[in-house]
Chains A and B, each alone.
Chain A
Amino acid sequence: MMKPDLDDLPEELSDGAVLLRRALIGIGGGIVLIFLVGVIAGYASVVFEHGAPRLVDALIIGAMVLTGAALAYGMWRLWPRGVDGPIGPRVRSARKIFTTAVIASVVVGLVIGIAGGSESLFSNEPVSPGVAVLAIAVWIIIGPVFTWLWYQKIDEHEADAYRDGALVAVHAYIFITPAWWIANRAGWLPAPDTILVLLGVSLLWIIVWFRQRYL
């Protein structure tokens, strides 16, 4: 007689539910944490600018740090573990590479954000050569290396989803770009914005990858 299928038990969250909860906790909690870190840094810098901190200032900063720690702990406790289980060495390597890439991206983003001061990469304003060199190096050297390492480790199902997304994205690029270019020459649209096209096709890539991978 067939034994009950553990993955069909109703108390187990589906992939979609797990991802949704992780996104809500990660994004929501992450935004609050970043905001809190900013408030602490700002408050501390003002306090130290005025000489030695008073006891009340230290208590306020301490309370904010404790709040941040409690929030981080709450996120960790509420983080849905879903249907994760034992994972093989290849899958573990792929996850490590992906996690490392995400952490490295955040660190580099913070470094560029701090080093660049008022310069923002997310605009069409001029940037200094130093920021440009760092951003380009990350994008055309570190990015491809991480992508290649990750691609070598993912399983065939994820590779299929990744390639399907890439196929749709590159076709979208091929169809959108000349059409926009022609429409601009006809005076119907402004000049093609390469970054807007990049964001559009990247979003399409992610949607197709997600659908193939999780739905």
Chain B
Amino acid sequence: MKNRLKVLRAERDWSQAELAGRLDVSRQAVNAIETGKHDPSLPLAFRIARLFDMRIEEIFDDEA
């Protein structure tokens, strides 16, 4: 699944580690989500959306 996580993170000047710390997941998890190797669970997707103050569908694209 495609997502805008890397762009959103870069816009805030956050490293992967910093984003991982804010989401309470490992840096590898953030990297895997950004590269599309791991689709986050619904609870994690909601945490991501809340962190960026956006809706899930504004971050993740299930049609890609």
Contact = CB atoms under 8 A, between A and B. Distances in A.
B24 A84 contact: no
Given A2-B7, A2-B11, A5-B10, A157 B25 contact: yes
A156 B40 contact: yes
A7 to B, nearest CB: 5
Contacts of B20: 85, 87-88, 91
Contacts of A84: 17, 27
A87 B30 CA distance: 12
B29 A157 contact: yes
Nearest to B17: A85
A213 interface: yes
B54 interface: no
A158 B29 contact: yes
Contacts of A156: 25, 29, 38, 40-41, 44
Nearest to B23: A88
9 contacts: A6-B13, A83-B17, A87-B17, A88-B24, A90-B25, A155-B25, A156-B29, A157-B26, A158-B29
Given A7-B16, A83-B15, A155-B25, 8 more contacts: A2-B7, A5-B10, A7-B15, A83-B27, A84-B27, A86-B18, A88-B25, A154-B26
Interface of B: 6-7, 9-11, 13-18, 20-29, 31-33, 38, 40-41, 44
